[in-house]
Chains A and B, each alone.
Chain A
Amino acid sequence: MNTQELKQGFKDSFPIILGYLPLGFTFGVLARDAGLSLLQAVAMSVLCFTGAGQFIAAGMFKAGGSLIAIILTNLLVNLRYALFAASTVPYLRERIPPALAAALSYGLTDEVYAVSMNRYRRHPAATPYLAALVACSHLGWIGSTLAGALLGSFISSTDRLGLNFALPAMYISLLIILLRRRSHIYAALAAACTALLVGQLFPSTMANKFNIIAATLVGATLGVIWDERR
């Protein structure tokens, strides 16, 4: 086992955990408010590990939504992960055994995906790195959910600590690092405009993340077209 890779995985999970603290905490509060028990709130973060999906599920659960509707909505919200997962495969192939690669991909959230892709640009993928990154990020998500579910009623707001900007700040820094060619910049800009436009025209897509899927399809396609035309 390569301890250097393991350590780097731990280190790289730190910004992700910082971003998850306010989100997981808020989910813990919301889940209790929606009528889930402490165990159920934490179990949901253990078993699902999907930020937006869990918020939507708790909200629909509270509103008395049907089981089928909640699960189908979550399926749609999580479809973007299929794109992410597929795009990691060229990096994982021949570096991480297929069964292990598939198993570790359970933890491929938006943030884990972006951080690991950034790593693969310069370093080959390695099992200890991905395992540490996924495990630590997941533990951060579970721990902050537990804290929110336990302490929710005592703490008014994490906004005053600036933690509400942790995820946007991480998206900004990852975006800057991932843009390596002109065609990447065009892909990102096209996706940014598409996400905002679709979200504004169809407000429900802001919550269910369909605007992100549409933006990914448009942005990646235009990026390839731009690249081919040069």
Chain B
Amino acid sequence: MNAADAWLMIFGVALVSLAPRILPVAIFSRRKMPPWLEKWLSYVAPAVLGALAAVSILAPNGSLELSRENLYLWAALPTFAAGLITRSIFLTLLVGIAVMAALFHLLG
């Protein structure tokens, strides 16, 4: 593909990336949402985070890795503990990054 195709791709991807985020807000801001839908949507955040966390730790490279060699699994344990204790995103992030860097140098 040439440069013009690349630009077409960029604009096309931009359209389909931004529209799904903007349109639902534009549509539902102006009309009432049925209560059951509102309730269902309140479960979207816990569900999405559960899915993202599980995949990023247990399948960091695109397939399930339930082995001792999976550093993400080991790094997740102290990170979970830090999250439960501190309840701070920033501190949890620092613990996770520090543990991962240490694991990388010790075992990686």
Contacts and interface: CB of A to CB of B under 8 A. Distances in A.
A93 interface: yes
Interface in A124-183: 159-179, 183
Interface string B97-108: 111111111001
A158 to B, nearest CB: 10
Interface string B31-68: 00100111111111111111111111111101110000
A125 B108 CA distance: 43
Given A36-B6, A206-B63, A207-B62, A92 B25 contact: yes
B46 A47 contact: no
Contact of A176 (B42, B48, B84): B84
Q: Chain A CB within 10 Å — which of B16, B92, B95 has the most? A: B16
B88 A173 contact: yes
Given A81-B20, A84-B21, A162 B97 contact: yes
Contacts of A26: none
Given A86-B24, A169-B96, A196-B55, A98 B89 contact: no
Dominant SS among interface residues on chain B: helix
Q: Give the interface size bracket for B toward A.
A: 35 or more
A216 to B, nearest CB: 5
A82 B12 contact: no
A84 B40 contact: no
Contact of A215 (B12, B13, B51, B83): B51
A85 B56 CA distance: 22
B79 to A, nearest CB: 5
Given A35-B6, A188-B47, A175 B25 contact: no
Contact of B7 (A19, A40, A173): A40
Interface string A77-107: 0111111111111101100001101110111
A127 B1 CA distance: 41
B100 A165 contact: yes
14 contacts: A44-B14, A47-B13, A74-B16, A83-B41, A89-B25, A92-B29, A101-B25, A105-B21, A105-B22, A171-B53, A184-B46, A187-B47, A191-B46, A195-B55
Interface of B: 1, 3, 5-18, 20-26, 28-30, 33, 36-60, 62-64, 72, 75-76, 79-80, 82-84, 87-90, 92-93, 95-105, 108
